Every structure is written in structure tokens, then in C-alpha cells.
Chains A and B, each alone.
Chain A
Amino acid sequence: MSFIRSHILVCTGTGCSSSDSIKIIEEFERQLAAQGMDKEAKVVRTGCFGLCALGPIVTVYPEGACYTHVTVDDVEEIVSEHIVKGRIVKRLLNKNAAEEGPVTSLTETRFYKHQQRIALRNCGVINPESIDEYIGVDGYAALGKILSEQIPPQQVIDTIKASGLRGRGGAGFSTGLKWQFTHDAVSPDGVKFVCCNADEGDPGAFMDRSVLEGDPHTIIEAMTIAGYAVGAHQGYIYVRAEYPIAVKRLETAIGQAKEYGLLGKNIFESGFDFDLELRLGAGAFVCGEETALMRSIEGHRGEPKTRPPFPAVKGLFDRPTLLNNVETYANITWILNHGAEAFAAIGTEKSKGTKVFALGGKITNTGLVEVPMGTTLRTVVEEIGGGVPGGKQFKAAQTGGPSGGCIPASLIDTPIDYDSLASIGSMMGSGGLIVMDEDNCMVDIAKFYLEFIVDESCGKCVPCRIGTKRLLDLLTKITEGNGEPEDLDTIEELCQHIKQSALCGLGQTTPNPVLSTLKHFREEYEAHIYEKRCPAGVCKSLIQYVVDPTKCKGCTRCAQGCPTGAISGAVRAPHIINQSKCIKCGACMDHCRFDAISKQ
């Protein structure tokens, strides 16, 4: 047996793959062979480390040295210096780590210090395409214990209930209760189903994708346990076709589990049968809603149905169906292995455990973070996220995607849990957390979400199909400088109507981005309406580019860069922008070297 001295972990999540991590792996394999180290060092393809902004990321164990922004050209040096001679390549280390002293490990940095990883525990640690590595980290132990000791299903459900786990897809319903309802429901022919919602449609959220790409077996194991607990023998994973890497890894994982007898007939010789099938979504946001998702699996247009009956009673193919999302399932085996008490000890009184957030937008460390419930927004944005780059001011954070709302800077000390977020007009949602700075116009952001909703509304009910279109018309009118004082009242009234009368959860929450920005940033709406001014300088109809004649040197760069020839002026004399020709593209401002052009 050969002795492997070093493990080189290379992230192959979507973010790092997009920046060439696959070529880096090939180069590592080539260099290791060329320098005669291929028997002593092994390249491991892992899932996402979470720090996507610094990708591609390569970690070398046992030292735990974490190299960031690695390029194919750096590989030879890492092999010859680190692997052959044992000298860490300081130049490529994560900058935070290098600044904070001799510490090189990623887990010691500010980004990871406040995090606690449960759902993401295996992401970036094991090779997601190897079932043996999953088994090596206690994978399938929970399933094995339950089936071989014949633990009664009710006891499994009680453990999940006692843990206090709530659905991570957005609404935050008790997972244990959901299992109980499906368990108690009577099926006319005894058939029940277990489904996994992996149709992560919120723009800006990608934690489910990272779990599927980094730890697919944990979902399979949790779904099998769920099937045993509620009495189902068939499961479906509804996954977005836009996630090709996740789809491939799930297919591989399901194949391996079947080969090992962990899926299929008579699992662990217990007489329990369970099978899993993948269903690919086809790009419809509404399919994240549970009844629409089931319609889609049935092969129809993904249109929601009225509830009740709830899916636990009458769901997929009219049978009792348990539906949880990816992150919820990712917590299940941890709870069963560590006990409900250990899980319930984390978090706040009503929100237990941890939550994964996808940090994005105007923030230094974009990526995935997992923090205990109740962590403040300030900790996430300033400590873990490293704050807003470029010395700009933090203005707001948007959580919950198109169903959520914007949290203003004044509420940055709000603890993040289901109830605190709901009380300030936002929601947990699936966990997208987009940071905005002073350059973002909140009216424009509200309009952006409405455009998304208008595009994605399935069209079944009138409030969502027509109401959101009218809302968008009103917002467009305001951003174009034609807003009238009574528009704000009309918007508020329309929002209330949609909230009360839309058919599904997604429709009912569509006004949230508008209502929350109106509540916390009303002065910005008013500036657009009364002063015909966009304070952030985003809404094109309301801004003008002007040349400051005291700063302009007459270098003509702006005039050369203007696509419409709107700028005139003699060489070495201040230039002038002809506002009737200007299309407000901002090219002049980018070209100016003297900071003489500004937006007003």
C-alpha cells in the first residue's frame, strides 16, 4: 500500500470551475508526475469551500495551507516548493491569513472564525464523487443505525421534532411536524412520496447548489431516512437544470449508493425499500413553491394549487408527500448522529441550529457562510464579509430574494433568525444576502425585483399576474421622473391587495421588496417624485453628466470616448456635454483622468 503524505484539495464548485480549477487539477497531476511526487501526494476534487471571491482555492494538507486566486502557472511552484521541499508558498496564501501572523489555515481567518458548519460540514472537505470518503466521515451511519436496530419511525420523527429544526427553504415551518403530518396521513393505496426541493430559484442564493455539489450523499441518506420515517418508498429530487455539476454529482452519488446497497431493495437487510429519481427543473421560479414543484414533477405546467389540502395529505400524484429543501435535509444526519439536544443548543429560542447565507453584492468576501441562528447582521457583513469594498457606505442588505425585503443600515444589529427578520418586514428566505452600498438606488432595486416577478409569475391568479405588472408600471413611472404624490398611496394599497389575495406563497410575498424599501427608504421615493432626483445617481432619466470647468484640462479623452458625439470643446479648454444628445452611458466619466465629470 502506498503512503500518501500530502493531500491537495482543489475546489471544483461552480464558482472555482468557472475560473479554471479543472485545468489546475490537470496541471497538478502533470507536475506531480513530472517531479516524481505522484505516489506521495494526491489531488482531491472537493466541493465549495465557501470563499468564492478568492477562487480558485487550493488547500494543502496536513499543513492546512490555503492558496487563493491560484492560476495554472502557480502550480509548478506549489509542487516544487511545498510538496517537494515542504516550504509553504507565502505569496499565494490567503491575504487575511498572512496578515494575521503565522496562521495559514483557512479555519482561523476572520471569515471562518464566526462560522459553525453543520449543513456545509463536508463541503470542501471530502471528494463529493467518492462514497467511501462520505462513509469515512460517518456517512450512512445514521441510516445504518436506524435500519439495523429497527428504531421505530415515530422515534426518528420525535428526534427531529425535539431538535427544533425549521424548514430552510424560506417559510420556516417545523420540519418534525411536517414529517409527523406525512407519517399520520392515510394513503388510499399505501403509496407515499418523499421529495427534495433543489430548485433554488432565488437570484443570489447558491447554498443548495454547494451542498449538492460538495456533499450529495448527505441528501440521499437524509431522504432515505425520511422515507423510512413517513412510510415512503420512492423519492424525487427536483433539481435545476441550470446546475449541471450538481446534477452530475447527484447521478454519480445515486449510482454509488445503489451499488453499495444503500438505495434500492432491502437496505441494510432490514426489508426496507427506497428508490430515488432525479427530475430536472426547466427554469421556472414558481416551481420553488411546493405545490407547483409537484405539478412540474407530474409533467405539467408548474402552477400552484390552493392549500389545503396540504401536500402532507394530498401531494404528488395525489398521495401524501413530504417535501423539504436541500439545506433542511443537510441537517438531518447531523441531528441524528449528534442528538437533538446538541442541535437545539445552537441558535435562539425559536430558531435552532445554523443557517447558510450566500453573501453577494457589494461585499469584500463574497461566498457561502454558515452561522448560528441569532448572529447579528453586523457580524455577518462586517466581520465575516469583510465589509463594503472601496470605502463606500453600507446602505442596506436584502434577504429572502424576491419574497424578502431590504434591511437598512440602522437595523444592522438585528439578530438573524426567522422571527426577527419577519418583524422588520423581511424574511429568512432561502438565504441569499445581497449587500448594497450608497451607489444603489432602492427604488431601482424594488423595480428590479418586480421585473423578475412579472417575468416569472405563472399567470394562474389575477393579483400576481396583473397586480405586479401594475406595480411595476408605477415604479417605472417614478424612476423615469413622472411620479406623482398619490402614486405612493396607490402602491401601498395595491401591495396590500396582492398580499391578501394571491394564490400561493410566492405571490403573496411579491410586494415585500416594495413595501420594505418604502418603509425604510421612503425619502428616496420622495426625492424621485418631488425633486425629480435620484439620490444614488442610478435612474438614467433623473441624472445629468456635467463637466466641472475648473477641473477639466481639455484633454479631449471624454469627447473621443463618447459614443454619440455629445461632447464638444477645444483642446486645452473646458468641454461641454450636450444634454439632448447624451445617452447617459457614463463612458465620459470612465475616460476622464482628472475627476472633472460628475453625475448630478
Chain B
Amino acid sequence: MPNCKTIVPYRGTPEQEERLRQVIAEHKGQPGATMPVLQAAQEIFGYLPEEVQIIIAEGLDIPLSEVYGVASFYAQFTLNPKGKYQISVCLGTACYVKGAAAILNAVEQKLGITPGTITPDGKFSLDSCRCVGACGLAPVMMINNDVYGRLTPDQVGPILDMYK
């Protein structure tokens, strides 16, 4: 998954930065604060650009390399912005044996993007994930917080059309 430095310009607002500084102040000095702060930062900004990582490193008084190390290690953290609608196709075992690869294919063909990337208009971003835990409904796709289960490839187009 490409999780490298983003080319999208940073558009963080002073309000967002202020909220982040508050979160840092709440966690500062606690053991193991890096992860909760990064999780909160991703909530606030939607992703973790270099500018945000610098604020965190300075705020928690730890090296930037360590913040970057943690941010790039975990799949949940993204250094690139996500689309308005985040599509995530489950490729867990139960979904895989029930044809999740064909679902992912259908999404790729419909939107013309591959996992880890975003459509040029910023509307859809696509990722594959490992098991959302809804194995009874396999194969499963999530768009933001909506779960679509028991999918067939021809349902993908109409579902995506519902998101304008």
C-alpha cells in the first residue's frame, strides 16, 4: 500500500491545530501517549501530513523520526488524505473464498483507481482491508460507515451511484 509522503498541499486550519495542541496537553507525560495522540490527530485532520507530525513531535517532546516511525507502521494511519467516501473492500479469508477479489475488481473498473489511491475529484478513495468481522455477510464492502454484505459484482455499480 503506498503510504508515502503526500503531494496534496497542507490545508490545516488554526482551529484544527489548536484542538490538536489541547489533545497533546491532555496526554503529555503519560506513558505510551504517541498512539492515542496520533489517533486523535487523524480524527481532527483526516490524515497525518508532515506538518501535523511535527506539531506532535514538538508537543510530546519526542523525535520526529519516532512519530513518523509509528505513523507509517500501522495500517490505520494514513499519510495521504482520504476521499469524501472511503471505500474499503474486505479481503479477509471468509470474504476471499466467497469472491471478494471480483468485488474489488468491479470497484476498480468502475472508478478507475487501485487500492491505496483516490479519484482525481477527491470523492472516492479505495482500500482493501483484512476482515471487518462481518464474516457472516461475506463478501463485504464498507463505504464510510455503511456496510454492504452478500455482494455480487453487478451490485457494485448501482451502490456506488448512490454516493454523489
Contacts and interface: CB of A to CB of B under 8 A. Distances in A.
Nearest to A448: B96
A298 B33 CA distance: 8
A43 to B, nearest CB: 22
Nearest to A204: B93
Contacts of B74: 281-284, 302
B32 A299 contact: yes
Interface in B133-152: 133-138, 140, 147, 149
Nearest to B38: A282
B111 interface: no
A493 B75 CA distance: 31
Contacts of A563: 109
A301 B69 CA distance: 7
Interface residues of B, number: 40
Interface string B102-139: 10010001000000000000000000011111111110
A72 interface: no
Nearest to B66: A300
A60 interface: no
B36 A284 contact: no
B39 A452 contact: no
B35 A296 contact: yes
A206 B135 contact: yes
B137 to A, nearest CB: 6
A18 B149 contact: yes
A52 B134 CA distance: 8
A445 B92 CA distance: 12
Contacts of A243: 133
Given A203-B130, A358-B135, A360-B135, A284 B97 contact: no
B109 to A, nearest CB: 8
Interface stretch (A221-229, A268-276, A361-369): A361-369
Of the listed residues B66, B94, B96, B140, the one surrounded by the most CB atoms of chain A closer than 10 A to its CB is B94
Given A201-B130, A283-B76, A18 B147 contact: yes
A52 B132 contact: no
Contacts of A205: 131
A443 interface: no
B134 A282 contact: no
Interface in B31-53: 31-36, 38-39
Contact of B131 (A203, A282, A298): A203
Nearest to A286: B73
Nearest to A246: B133
Q: Which of A201, A203, A367, A440 has the most CB of B within 10 A?
A: A203
Contacts of A440: 97
A452 B131 CA distance: 11
A282 B77 contact: yes
B31 A361 contact: no
A24 B97 CA distance: 30
B70 interface: yes
B137 A434 contact: no
B97 A280 contact: no
B84 interface: no
Nearest to B62: A299
Contact of A15 (B39, B92, B134): B134
A171 interface: no
Given A283-B74, A284-B73, A452-B130, A55 B136 contact: yes
A209 interface: yes
Contacts of A458: 73
B66 to A, nearest CB: 8
B28 interface: no
B98 interface: yes
Given A283-B74, A436-B97, 7 more contacts: A53-B136, A204-B92, A206-B133, A209-B133, A280-B39, A299-B35, A302-B74
Interface of A: 14-15, 17-19, 52-53, 55, 200-206, 209, 241-243, 279-285, 296-302, 317, 358, 360-362, 366-367, 398, 401, 432, 434, 436, 440, 445, 448-449, 452, 455-456, 458, 563, 585-586
28 contacts: A14-B132, A15-B136, A52-B136, A203-B91, A203-B93, A203-B131, A204-B94, A206-B133, A241-B76, A242-B129, A242-B132, A279-B35, A280-B35, A282-B76, A283-B74, A285-B130, A299-B31, A358-B135, A360-B138, A361-B97, A362-B97, A366-B135, A366-B138, A448-B93, A449-B93, A455-B1, A585-B105, A586-B102
Interface of B: 1, 31-36, 38-39, 66, 69-70, 73-77, 91-94, 96-98, 102, 105, 109, 129-138, 140, 147, 149
